[in-house]
Amino acid sequence: MCGIVGLFSKSTGVEERLGEHLGAMLAQMSDRGPDSAGVAVYRDPAPTGASKVSLHSADPDVEWGHVRDGLARAFGGDPEPEIRASHAVFVVDTDADTAQAWLREHHPELRIMSAGERIEIYKEMGLPSDFVARFALDDIRGSHALGHTRMATESRVTTQHSHPFSTGLDLCLVHNGSLSNHNRLRLELRREGIEFQTDNDTEVAAGYLTWKLREGLSLEQALEGCLDDLDGFYTFAVGTADGFAVLRDPIACKPAVMAETDDWVAMASEYRAIAVLPGAADAVVWEPEPAQVYIWERERV
Amino acid sequence: MAIETDVAVETFDLATAPRRELNARLHALAGVADPQPARWRVVNPSGAHALAVGLDAPVEVEIDGHVGYYCAGMNKQATVRVRGNAGVGVAENIMSGTVVVEGNASQSAGATGRGGLLVVEGDASARCGISLKGADIVVRGSVGHMSAFMAQTGRMVVLGDAGDSLGDSIYEARIYVRGSVKGLGADCIEKELGDEHRDEVSELLAAAGVEGVDPGEFRRYGSERKLYTFHVDNAGSY
């Protein structure tokens, strides 16, 4: 069992309190996933030509200033990190691929959680309510966010095994369910050049989406491909630079509920995670259909 | 079933008191000849699970909002009305009494129900009435895929449409659908709608408070009795 939440703001009021709402939703999903929690938040786009990278350090005594100095020397600018618990987010004055390549070479001890223009990923072991406090989610403003609470069923409980999983620039995946053909699929995807950090099944789904998108498919087409190529149970939520998408497998054992008001669109494993949002009692609430892709995206101005 | 104004209504606020207290107070009425209070209004459910489960007294409980999983599960005698949507497994294993969902119900509504009546005024999603064992279910909207899977006995009336694999591996339950059926499950076939079936649909619609619907508009579905378990030659295998 796991818990998924997603929140997409349609008003500045929700944008300003995005992290607070997200934290409240995550806390409601604690008993669906008490062993780890994670979020992907979309906000503060990096300037044109620059990119944003979220990093995790397993070493609590990490010197982020050292990383900053190296990035400044390599790419210029003043990449002052925003530090939250074991994570730091850098805005680097180069494109995301170059920034990631540099970080892999010079800081192999750090783990790149996400890269892109807007995305930030934070995830860690422990109770969701502790995670919310430790990462000070209440301070976070943003346009939209996804969250996950994990109860591990098929692989270890570590930070790396937690969700969300990055699936490419500004993309991430959270999953409730389990996949049964992930070992074979991982081998096939490795042959296509997709890299994996863990033996986790969800990471394979993330890698699958990365591959399909790299091949030029749209997000909707890539998700529809999941229906043919992934064997197992899933409710997926996929974060994109401009919104999020939801897909349930055709059997649809794993729950999902969606809701919308004039101020927000939300999805969650259970309604009680939506009930904490302002105006939830008057929201339009529905259950997403099995095997149907739902996509919510804001129009870029 | 509307609450009369001259009868005292006990209001229970889940924003200020725990769910276990609500259920414990309702359970304390089991077996009491004239349970008091007999009428309850539950406010601020906020999607909480297992509300008003295991009741066994002729009480009326109205829940003012959306509920989580297994609301009114195992219900006996009581009338439970949800003024909102219901999560997974509403009225699961209902034994008697009536459960009404004014909004939509999630999957497995009325699963394994043995008696009583479940009314869903909106849609019910997948697996509605799965393994039904004698309860009646009336859905004013549509039902999702695999509804009435392995339903043994009992009746299901759907005023809207049914999803794929309706009545898969059904035994002796009877299904009536007014709209389209996306697909029938294994061993489930359409059967003739006779006068006794029209009467049965009328009776169930009346019990659910549905008016102005012609029972002749429904189609009846049930078991073709061709699966392995129906062959007497296989009886010795068990």
Selected residue of B106, B120, B130, B161 to mutate for chain A interface (largest A Cβ count, 10 A): B106
Q: Which residues of B touch A272 (CB under 8 A)?
A: 46-49, 68
Query: Of A2, A172, A226, A253, which residue is the catalytic one?
Result: A2
Identify whether residues A143 and A263 lie together within a single domain: yes
Report the mean per-residue pLDDT for chain B: 95
Report the mean per-residue pLDDT for chain A: 94
pLDDT in tens, A80-111: 999 999 999 999 999 999 999 999 999 999 99
Sequence-ordered list of residues with C-beta below 8 angstroms from that of A151, at least 6 positions apart, any chain: A1, A2, A32, A33, A34, A35
Given an 8 Å threshold on Cβ–Cβ distance, is A275 in contact with B88? no
Q: Give dist(CA A230, CA B26) in Å, integer.
A: 45
The predicted pLDDT at position A78 comes to 85
Q: Which of A80, A98, A117 lies at the terminal end of a domain, its last residue?
A: A117
The predicted pLDDT at position A197 comes to 85
Look up the CATH number of the domain holding residue A58.
3.30.70
| CB within 8 Å of chain A, chain B residues 4-33 | none
pLDDT in tens, A203-238: 999 999 999 999 999 999 999 999 999 999 999 999
Identify whether residues A106 and A133 lie together within a single domain: no
Identify whether residues A292 and A155 lie together within a single domain: yes
Active-site residue A2, yes or no? yes
Identify whether residues A14 and A52 lie together within a single domain: no
Residue A27 has pLDDT above 70, yes or no: yes
Position of tokens 């009692």?
A281
Which of A270, A286, A290 has its CB closest to that of B87? Answer: A270
Q: Give dist(CA A135, CA A127) in Å, integer.
A: 12
Q: At what angle do helices A96-106 and A64-75 cross, to 10 degrees?
A: 130
Q: Give dist(CA A46, CA A172) in Å, integer.
A: 18
**Tokens (6 digits) for A199:** 């033996």
Give the residue from chain B lying closest to A287, CA to CA.
B106
Identify whether residues A82 and A183 lie together within a single domain: no
Q: Does A31 touch chain B (CB under 8 A)?
A: no
For residues B158-181, give the mean pLDDT: 98
Number of C-beta neighbours around residue B195 at 10 A: 9
How many domains, chain A?
2
Identify whether residues A65 and A16 lie together within a single domain: no
The predicted pLDDT at position B238 comes to 62
Sequence-ordered list of residues with C-beta below 8 angstroms from that of A270, at least 6 positions apart, any chain: A3, A28, A29, A32, A255, A257, B47, B68, B69, B87
Question: What domain range is A86 assigned to?
Answer: 46-117
Residue B4 has pLDDT above 80, yes or no: no
Measure A275 CA to nearest chain B CA, in Å: 5
For residues A57-63, give the mean pLDDT: 94
Give percent of chain A with pLDDT exceeding 70.
99
Identify whether residues A31 and A55 lie together within a single domain: no
Look up the CATH number of the domain holding residue A25.
3.60.20.10
Burial tier of A204 (Cβ tally within 10 Å: 0-12, 13-18, 19+): buried
Higher pLDDT, A295 or A1: A295
> Domains of chain B by range and CATH?
10-237 (2.160.20.60)
Three-state SS for A16-84 is HCHHHHHHHHHHHCHHHCECEEEEEEECCCCCCCCEEEEEEECCCCCCHHHHHHHHHHHHCCCCCCEEE
For residues B43-53, give the mean pLDDT: 97
Given an 8 Å threshold on Cβ–Cβ distance, is A255 in contact with B88? yes
Q: Does A225 touch chain B (CB under 8 A)?
A: no
Q: Which of A63, A91, A117 lies at the terminal end of a domain, its last residue?
A: A117
CA count, 13 A, side-chain hemisphere, B203? 10
Identify whether residues A283 and A157 lie together within a single domain: yes
The predicted pLDDT at position B5 comes to 55
Identify whether residues A258 and A146 lie together within a single domain: yes
Three-state secondary-structure class, residue A12 = helix
* Of residues B61, B62, B63, B67, the one with CA closest to residue B46: B67
The predicted pLDDT at position A228 comes to 96
Identify whether residues A18 and A60 lie together within a single domain: no
Measure A272 CA to nearest chain B CA, in Å: 4
Q: Does B142 touch chain A (CB under 8 A)?
A: no
Q: Does A286 touch chain B (CB under 8 A)?
A: yes
Q: Which of A117, A134, A150 lies at the terminal end of a domain, its last residue?
A: A117
* Of residues A186, A244, A201, the one with CA closest to residue A220: A244
Identify whether residues A257 and A237 lie together within a single domain: yes
The predicted pLDDT at position B102 comes to 98
Residue B75 has pLDDT above 90, yes or no: yes
The predicted pLDDT at position B2 comes to 52
Q: Does A290 touch chain B (CB under 8 A)?
A: yes
Given an 8 Å threshold on Cβ–Cβ distance, is B126 in contact with A270? no
Q: Which residues of B touch A276 (CB under 8 A)?
A: 46
Q: Does A260 touch chain B (CB under 8 A)?
A: no
Identify whether residues A134 and A98 lie together within a single domain: no
| CB within 8 Å of chain A, chain B residues 163-192 | none
Q: Does A1 touch chain B (CB under 8 A)?
A: no
Residue A301 has pLDDT above 60, yes or no: no
Strand intervals (E) in A65-140: 82-84, 87-92, 110-116, 119-125
- Indicate the residue type of A33: G
Number of A:B CB contacts under 8 A? 44
Question: Furthest-apart CA pair in chain A: how many Å?
Answer: 53
List the single range of A42-46, A135-139, A293-297, B82-86 with lowest mean pLDDT: A293-297
